Amino acid sequence: MSDYKLVLEHHGILGQKWGVRRFQNADGTRTAAGQKRYSANGVRSYKAKRENAKVDNSFQKWKSGSDDRENAIKVGKRANEKRMAYERDRKNKQLKSEYKSANKDYKKAIKPVTTYRKGQVKNEVGKDMSRKYLSEAKKIEKRLKDDPNNKDLQKQYNRMMNKYGVERYNARKAPAKYAARSRAIANTKRQATMAIKATAGTAAVVGGTYAVNRALQSVGKNGINTNNAFTFAKVGQFIWELI
């Protein structure tokens, strides 16, 4: 082990001057901005500003997502109205065209909504549609009481009740379905991030080992292998956690 010498180097960032910190003059004294930043009030002000910015950004992100959700629900209910109008007169091409256009707008409006909130949108829009089907079914039922042998009315009633049941079921299941999908997406992203970090760490150790070996060999010393480098890294992490 006495022949080995590990050196940790940092090559700075683009535009950085060696020995000169930010908010610092070349002679080591602080600039006016640095004096303000690192004074007691300046530090508190900087931290407060940074934390407030985080809260504000988080709120804006939440508000934007909430606005997208409400807009999607509004557009979805408008599409429901066009759909119901078409259901009453399926031979009307104008109503069919209006329904398709409204449904296209709904798909466009729900696209930017987050996965979790999509469940809420589907729930609200689905419940609205199921109520419309039930209302239409009740109207047909009243007509059936006056003409119980009318097979056409009976088919219409059965179709509306079936669609009512399907829409109600889908609306009830939507929140849980999209919540599970949201968790799956988050888990996938987390695993991908961990894999990237692990790969980056491995690449850093391998690259560092290569650099160290080149340096050792240049002065006639034996190099180290990658397994030893991983061991050194683990020991270093252990010591860091202790202190």
Distance CA 57, CA 64 (A): 10
HSE of 59, CA atoms in CB hemisphere, 13 A: 6
- Position 99 pLDDT exceeds 70: yes
Distance CA 212, CA 233 (A): 14
Predicted model pTM: 0.60
Helix (H/G/I), strand (E/B), else coil: 30: strand
Distance CA 221, CA 225 (A): 13
HSE of 242, CA atoms in CB hemisphere, 13 A: 6
Q: How is residue 24 annotated by DSSP?
A: B
The answer to whether residues 154 and 144 touch, using CB atoms and an 8 Å cutoff, is: yes
> Which tops the pLDDT comparison, 101 or 239?
101
- Averaged pLDDT for residues 162-175: 94
- Position 231 pLDDT exceeds 90: no
- Position 202 pLDDT exceeds 70: no
- Position 2 pLDDT exceeds 80: no
- Position 90 pLDDT exceeds 70: yes
Q: Looking at residue 1, what is its pLDDT?
A: 46
Q: Where is mean pLDDT largest: 53-67, 158-172, 195-209?
A: 158-172
Q: Looking at residue 24, what is its pLDDT?
A: 76
Q: Looking at residue 34, what is its pLDDT?
A: 76
